[in-house]
Amino acid sequence: MTYLKKMFVSNMSVMSAFCAITISLMLAILLLWFSGAPPIETGKLLLEGSLGNATRLSDTSMVWVPLALASASLIITFAAGLWNIGVEGQIIVGAIFASFVAREFDAPAPLLWGAMIMAGALGGMFWGGLTGLLRIKGKVNEIFGGLGLTFVATGIVIYLVIGPWKRAGIASTSGTAPFDSKAWFPTIMDLRVSPLAILLALAGLWLVYYLLKQSKFGLQLRATGINAIAASRLGVRTERNLMLAFLLGGVLAGIAGTVQVGAMHHKLVPSISGGYGYLAILVVLLGNYKSFRSGLISFFFAMIAVGSIQWQLRLDLHSSLGGVTQGILVLVVLVVMAIFTQYQRNQRI
């Protein structure tokens, strides 16, 4: 009995994740049932719709890329104890900077892609840095600073699209004129999937994983996130670390923005960030602030986003049910994890 108990307690995180996913899937199925959808059919459609053929798989992976990058960005800032809600705005500014390079510069294609990625990273870093400055020097909570700056970024992108960067002759919110095809990230055949974008997302996730696990900077960041006063007493330069976290988070978000313009839309559109900055918050909460898990969950979320389109087409369900499913998943997982943590704490006492 005690052995069983020990097993149970030691495998707590696995157990809790398992329970949470089972419960939330059951709830999701119930919900779909009540909205008049046959559960097995909806599940099948989701899988087919997101992974069923090369086109769909490639679409899913291109939703995955910005979501994974935004999640990586959030993991870094969460480690420092920051609620960097402004990732959405950093994606937008990254996209603007990358678009600027794509529109204004002419160079051999690979150089142009490189320059776009650099510019996007710089843009995101700039916007993340502003949030950081507001937080560190101005004592403005990063949630408010980030939200405010996201509004500003949204304003700027709309201004650019219907103003200075409008299509010749018409100003439309459907976006700027498409970039010169040299600025389009290369794809596999005529699918949407861009190996370069996938590579960037994998690199982003790996970088975050490596920094937090192996680097002094990552450890200092975690220490700062838990208790900045004690960390400072132990010799950590906490303000510098917080700033670096904002900057690095911005770089990753900015690259997500670059991928959105360079590999997805090939132009700047007002909704360029696609809500990935916000969705990534759910991903990271669900992934328990871990890179690898968040990468997987990002993919799962991408599957729901792409696959649930089929619900609308084939079952006449509203596509927002995909979002509802994601929401239920996150809520249930958080509740179950809280219960397990509480249980674990009681065990210790």
Partner 1 sequence: MTLEIDKISKHFGNVYANNNVSLSIDSGEIHGLLGENGAGKSTLVKILSGFFEKEAGEIRLDGQLLDLSSPKDSINCGIGILHQEPMVFLPFSVLDNFLIGSTDQFLAPRKQALKQLQEICNKFDFELDPDAPVSLLTIGQRQQLEIARLLWLDPKVLIFDEPTNAISPVQREKLFTTIRQLAADGMLVIFVSHKLDEIAAICDSVTVLRKGEVAGSKELPCPESELIALMFGKLFPSKEIETPQKGGIQLTVSNLKSIEDRESIEVANFEIRQSEIVGIAGIEGAGQRTFLRAIAGRNSPESGTIISGRNLLDGTNYHQRLEKGLYYMPADRLGEGLISELTITEHIALVENKKRNQIIDWEMSYLRATELISHFQIQGTPESKAESLSGGNQQRLMFALMPTDADTILLEHPTRGLDIESADWIWNQLLDMRSDDCSIIFSSSDFEELLSYSDKIIVCFAGRIVGEFEKSEFNPAHIASLMSGSQI
| Phi, psi dihedral angles at 137 (to 5 degrees) | -90, -35
170 binds partner 1 (CB under 8 A): no
Q: Which stretch binds partner 1 (CB under 8 A): 42-50, 86-94, 226-234, 283-291?
A: 226-234
Q: Indicate which single residue of 28, 37, 153, 223 sits in contact with partner 1 (rule: CB under 8 A).
A: 223
320 binds partner 1 (CB under 8 A): no
247 vs 337: CA distance, rounded Å:
31
195 vs 159: CA distance, rounded Å:
32
220 binds partner 1 (CB under 8 A): yes
CB closer to partner 1 out of 79 and 268:
79
- How is 6-43 classified by DSSP, letter by letter? HHHHHTHHHHHHHHHHHHHHHHHHHHHHHTT--HHHHH
Name residue, tokens 């490189």.
Answer: 114
Residue type, 305: A
Residues 6+ apart with CB under 8 A from 107: 115, 182
CB closer to partner 1 out of 40 and 234:
234
The 3-state DSSP class for residue 52 equals: coil
CB closer to partner 1 out of 2 and 348:
348
291 binds partner 1 (CB under 8 A): no
Q: Indicate which single residue of 35, 154, 232, 271 sits in contact with partner 1 (rule: CB under 8 A).
A: 232
Structure tokens at 299: 């993919």
CB closer to partner 1 out of 215 and 319:
215
The alpha carbon torsion through 288, 294, 297, 299 (nearest 10 deg) reads 170
Q: Which stretch binds partner 1 (CB under 8 A): 3-11, 83-91, 221-229, 324-332?
A: 221-229
229 binds partner 1 (CB under 8 A): yes
User: Which of 65, 63, 34 has the alpha carbon at shortest distance from 196?
Assistant: 65
Q: Which stretch binds partner 1 (CB under 8 A): 20-28, 185-193, 194-202, 218-226?
A: 218-226
Site for partner 1 in 185-214 (CB under 8 A): 214
Cβ atoms of 58 and 188 closer than 8 Å: yes
10 binds partner 1 (CB under 8 A): no
Residue type, 254: G
Burial class (CB in 10 A: 0-12, 13-18, 19+), 92: buried
CB closer to partner 1 out of 48 and 239:
239
Q: Indicate which single residue of 188, 226, 313, 339 sits in contact with partner 1 (rule: CB under 8 A).
A: 226
Least distance between partner 1 and beta carbon 213 (Å): 9
227 vs 234: CA distance, rounded Å:
11
222 binds partner 1 (CB under 8 A): yes
Q: Indicate which single residue of 125, 208, 231, 242 sits in contact with partner 1 (rule: CB under 8 A).
A: 231
Residues 6+ apart with CB under 8 A from 33: 39
Q: Which stretch binds partner 1 (CB under 8 A): 32-40, 145-153, 223-231, 262-270?
A: 223-231
Q: Which stretch binds partner 1 (CB under 8 A): 51-59, 169-177, 194-202, 234-242?
A: 234-242
* Contacting positions for partner 1 (CB under 8 A): 214-217, 219-220, 222-223, 226-227, 229-237
